[in-house]
Structure 1
């Protein structure tokens, strides 16, 4: 097996959490197995209309199923939030910080399995690994219905994280199979939007299950069973419907399959740069940008309030059923800000740092409202919570910046992995800021979130300043006659890092 970085390198073709490039041995094996060798597709002529038709078909089948899977994967993560107000905490006799640890332990499992998942993705067909993982996580999701104490809940949550550990990197690879780089930001926004939709679906699911009064088990347990069963169905659908690659897409005709393979392959045509470069690694570890990217992920995940959302609203005096309905504007606002971020990066591609800082303002304002307003002002506090949930949009811009500003196989691999580690660290630590004794407004957590958003803006500003002055330095070299510093299009065959390639300019 090649190095672990070989799998992570596939992220270069996808913006951020979905930005990875370079065809791996896995890609080559799959394409050759389907009698369509990318290397033989030296040139294919096709019109824009032909390509658009191919993309529309891919979006209608592949993107739709991918988004549904993303939605239920996120629903598994936030299921506790809804179950908490329908008897989970009392039924399982959760005390102190046990609810918070039940949330955090999921990410211990996800991080622990990541290494095994990477190995499996490299040695086995990706489609089968993903499909089986989805079915297994659906089955484990159903096991949540059987938990009767904290130990049982934490154990199932840990294994749920294990089951989902291979899915995120697999989707990174699969996305690079189907869409070109310029098409990927909108698809990433679609995936992140599916997370917001999961909150709406979860609320409606609990509303329906909670309305059942004659069942032998409580409604929140029925919701676990139902969500798990639907997840299993999605896994089976994935295995049946999603092709291994565009080369075997059943919904494309032979001509369209060739177009689908070639249009992506020509962006990922270099097979040379799959080895771990120690010089690139050392230079990356000395670069402060690496640590700023790591802290982006930590800070954004630590400030997530979604897992405690139902507890917040319910604690303001609303019934469980009204809590679900009152919480729905939050995901709607998330969808709005996600697409504002995605469209902002498209229309203002060199103002992404500014866009991120602007997107921080709504959740920052929401946390300030939740911290400063009196408990008696319940509707204003609810509005503050809605705003506080709107930090998902930052992930889309994070992905876009990482995709554009880090060059070189090993360097991009390390940066992508650092972001993932930051994501896990933030998701583990964040719930611990919400002290059970401070429910429902959690002043300590809100005060921490306010401070962390300020630190995030400083980290973003530091990144922009470093990049801005480096661009200025290179512009000066070019103006003084240094040909190596003159901006020019990047080459797929060029494995120099952004630190080495003076013709490279950072996106701000």
Structure 2
């Protein structure tokens, strides 16, 4: 039995859609001095639900629906991120498994991935907005699986550089698309947790990849080098995940064929009050300009850079650092795995706290502190010979990784307008790739084996990020106060009751307004 209280309205909407759409095309309303033609500029969601809420769902129904979504969307997103991080960091394992690329050539091959990522980030986001995003993602995963397997076919610097460049291009679409999908299916106070559920794969791949690489390292045959087996295995896994994405991951609630029509409407109604909107295939110049002129965009760029430079260094050199404590290659592959577990636990805790307390910046601060302490220990204890303390420092230094997942959640919760969302996500990921490019060059061969300048750089960068995080939090709280004042002024001027305010909030939800244009949008600190 349906839990919709007004079931007839859903069926009746189909009969009224053509005439209603003609009326809506003529209707222009004013909000924050911006005129919006709602039918042509609105979200894809308007094809399935009206501007006003016509269907109500019980809390029990919504919980059941959310559980159904949780069994499908986060697991597939997690599989994608697991594959991506495993493939991206395969070079880290290969570096101590007979890889013929060493010295400065290794640094340049490490850089090539992020260079491809940077070059293709904006084109891939533009293309994905025009296409069905899950299908586009799945196709990219299959292609990068093939590219990864081709790593086993070459031993030259030029070949590795080109393949890593192509791998970066293919993987550049992952985070923007996953963030969009999570923001379309989940409410603001659910997004941080769900993003942490797929971002946790960064730490778990460190455990999985370490044990797999350890097992392969015992291969002593002469037909194939161990690192080539690694690339063939990881590439095949990527192709399998890509096929699963093509078959099962929905592009949006509107195209979620695993849901009934009633459930698709319920998903849209769940997120209506968040004012985050759905998808729109039209690129809007005014939203791009707003994204580029929003001070928070550039602070996100700065905080992403401050996080990504250490990431670029540690994701490619962490095994080399541990090996230089005085361990063998095989010992290093196993001893590196606890760091992945600690990073995974940190990601889950930060995601949970982020949603529970409706905070984004404070969890970032909390995950940075252990990394700052770990960096200081690696510098201060460098010549001490205390392997246990140095290992402990190398484990807690990885907690900073959850900062990036929280930045993803920040973008999902604090940006509205589909073009603006895509623009800011692209800028964020471009900053991520640029930071990682810089990061591959802070651990230079001349500084081996201790790499003290690189470790000091990580310490300084993440200390600066503490202050940037507090600044972003303060700006969002200040913007919310301004919005509250604006809404109170509008309420008094128009004589709105609380019921009227709620109706207006619902009418604004799927008009593809930006967070600045929409007076009902509330920022998450």
Return the TM-score normalized by structure 1.
Answer: 0.81
Partners of 2:459 and 2:262 in 1: CA distance: 54
Match of 1:492 in 2: 509
**Structure 1 residue 302, shift from structure 2 partner:** 0.5
Structure 2 matches for 1:374-413, cutoff 5 A? 374-375=382-383, 376-406=385-415, 412-413=421-422
Match of 2:370 in 1: 362
| Structure 1 range deviating more: 166-175 or 320-329 | 166-175
Distance 1:182 1:70, change over 3 A: same
Contact 1:192 1:392 in 2 (8 A): no
**Structure 1 residue 332, shift from structure 2 partner:** 1.0
Partners of 1:504 and 1:244 in 2: CA distance: 24
Partners of 1:23 and 1:341 in 2: CA distance: 39
- The answer to whether residue 84 in structure 2 is matched with residue 67 in structure 1 is no
Listed as ranges, the gaps of 5+ residues in structure 1 are 1-21
Partners of 2:345 and 2:39 in 1: CA distance: 35
Partners of 2:487 and 2:265 in 1: CA distance: 41
Distance 1:63 1:408, change over 3 A: closer
| Structure 1 range deviating more: 313-322 or 109-118 | 109-118
**Structure 1 residue 483, shift from structure 2 partner:** 5.4
Q: Tell me the secondary structure at the aligned position of residue 96 of structure 2.
A: helix
Structure 2 matches for 1:190-205, cutoff 5 A? 190-205=197-212
**Cα offsets for 1:278-307 (capped at 9, x unmatched):** 4x6656545543321110010100012132
**Structure 1 residue 134, shift from structure 2 partner:** 1.1
Partners of 1:309 and 1:226 in 2: CA distance: 22
Structure 2 matches for 1:308-457, cutoff 5 A? 308-350=317-359, 352-375=360-383, 376-406=385-415, 412-457=421-466
Partners of 1:252 and 1:139 in 2: CA distance: 32
Return the TM-score normalized by structure 2.
Answer: 0.79
Structure 2 matches for 1:456-471, cutoff 5 A? 456-467=465-476
Contact 2:117 2:430 in 1 (8 A): no
Q: Tell me the secondary structure at the aligned position of residue 336 of structure 1.
A: helix
Contact 1:57 1:251 in 2 (8 A): no
Distance 1:119 1:249, change over 3 A: closer
Partners of 1:54 and 1:480 in 2: CA distance: 37
Contact 1:210 1:218 in 2 (8 A): no
Match of 2:284 in 1: 276
**Structure 1 residue 149, shift from structure 2 partner:** 2.1
Contact 1:118 1:169 in 2 (8 A): yes
1:152 to 154, 159, 163: 159
Partners of 1:159 and 1:422 in 2: CA distance: 18
**Structure 1 residue 442, shift from structure 2 partner:** 1.2
Partners of 2:256 and 2:475 in 1: CA distance: 44
Contact 1:85 1:314 in 2 (8 A): no
Contact 1:299 1:452 in 2 (8 A): yes
Partners of 1:330 and 1:67 in 2: CA distance: 19
**Cα offsets for 1:51-103 (capped at 9, x unmatched):** 32232222223321221111011111111111111111xx23x22x2222211
Contact 1:138 1:229 in 2 (8 A): yes
**Cα offsets for 1:156-193 (capped at 9, x unmatched):** 10011122233333333433443344332211001110
**Cα offsets for 1:347-376 (capped at 9, x unmatched):** 3225x4333222210111111111111331
**Structure 1 residue 471, shift from structure 2 partner:** 6.0
Partners of 2:113 and 2:343 in 1: CA distance: 23
**Structure 1 residue 476, shift from structure 2 partner:** 8.4
Structure 2 matches for 1:26-41, cutoff 5 A? 28=44, 37-39=48-50
- The answer to whether residue 174 in structure 2 is matched with residue 167 in structure 1 is yes
Partners of 1:281 and 1:309 in 2: CA distance: 38
Partners of 2:119 and 2:136 in 1: CA distance: 17
Distance 1:478 1:192, change over 3 A: closer
Contact 1:118 1:166 in 2 (8 A): yes
| Structure 1 range deviating more: 218-227 or 403-412 | 403-412
Structure 2 matches for 1:125-274, cutoff 5 A? 125-214=132-221, 216-243=223-250, 246=253, 251-252=258-259, 255-256=262-263, 259-260=266-267, 263=270
Q: Tell me the secondary structure at the aligned position of residue 317 of structure 1.
A: coil
Root-mean-square deviation (Å): 3.7
Distance 1:173 1:343, change over 3 A: closer
Partners of 1:301 and 1:465 in 2: CA distance: 23
**Cα offsets for 1:401-424 (capped at 9, x unmatched):** 334445566655544333222112
Distance 1:58 1:104, change over 3 A: same
Contact 2:130 2:281 in 1 (8 A): no
Partners of 2:147 and 2:202 in 1: CA distance: 20
Q: Tell me the secondary structure at the aligned position of residue 216 of structure 1.
A: coil
Partners of 1:268 and 1:180 in 2: CA distance: 9
Contact 1:189 1:342 in 2 (8 A): yes
**Structure 1 residue 247, shift from structure 2 partner:** 5.9
Higher Cα radius of gyration = 2
Contact 1:301 1:427 in 2 (8 A): yes
Contact 2:94 2:227 in 1 (8 A): yes
Contact 1:23 1:269 in 2 (8 A): no
Partners of 2:420 and 2:410 in 1: CA distance: 14
Partners of 1:272 and 1:329 in 2: CA distance: 43
